[in-house]
Amino acid sequence: MNNRNKLNSKIGHLWKQNRGFVLFLGLMLVFRSAFADWNSVPTGSMKPTIVEGDRILVNKMAYDLRVPFTHISLLHLADPERGDIIIFDSKASDTRLVKRVIGLPGDVVALSDNALFINGKPLNYSDGAVAGTVNAHAPKQAYELDKTEDLVGIKHSVRVNKQGSHLSSFDAVVVPDGHYLAMGDNRDNSADSRVIGFVPRSEIVGRTRSVVLSFNYENFYIPRKDRFLHTL
């Protein structure tokens, strides 16, 4: 038996021994690509809703049934709604991002001192508790506050800096067709549509509504029990 036949024989033997595992691995990858997956969250741009170390469950069939490992849609199922927390592969930032949908196609959106206006109407806010300071020596007016924002019927928490930032305001813009305006809940610490522009519909890969588990990066990656299966 020549060397080529020996190699083919070894490959065939390995395949027979491991084909069950290989098929399982392939099916798992297809499932994670097209149906559901989990993503780690390394930054605080969605605080206080999502914190660093959260592993969020991503429903990849929330809006489309796609060809596995691609952004090609086989079946359109739904469109993102205002208030949805979306996951998208941003070409502008060259990374995967997690943000909240604020503006739908055709909406007119403005932001003034961290207060949103949608189609000319101001959103309602209720003040929350002090979230912490920017640094240990920051004056009292520099505290971050958690507020409840009523996003046209979708109530959720946002975090703002009382001193504001260069992200705290923008003039009215019209969301173009096939795009969405997305923002992080940590309003003064999020590189979102205010930085990268509108989010194309084709870049959105799914929606999240829950945390699977969470690890505390500041405490030896110990799991956070209160975040296990936490609803967003």
What pLDDT tens digit does each residue of the chain (232 aa) get?
566 666 666 666 676 777 776 676 767 776 677 677 888 898 999 999 999 999 999 999 999 999 988 889 999 999 999 999 999 999 999 999 999 999 999 999 999 999 999 999 999 999 765 555 444 444 444 578 999 999 999 999 999 998 889 999 999 999 999 999 999 999 999 999 999 999 999 999 999 999 999 999 888 889 999 999 999 9
Catalytic annotation present for 45: yes
Q: Which residues contact 209 (CB under 8 A, 6 or more apart)?
A: 57, 59, 85, 231, 232
Alpha helix (H) ranges present in the chain? 3-34, 193-196
Question: Which listed residue (47, 60, 99, 147) is catalytic?
Answer: 99
If one counts every other C-beta atom within 10 angstroms of the C-beta of residue 64, the result is 22
Question: Which listed residue (45, 190, 193, 214) is catalytic?
Answer: 45
Q: How far is CA 195 from CA 60, 104, 121, 166, in A?
A: 25, 18, 23, 11
Where does residue 215 rank: exposed (0-12), middle (13-18), buried (19+ CB within 10 A)? middle
Catalytic annotation present for 90: no
pTM of the full structure: 0.86
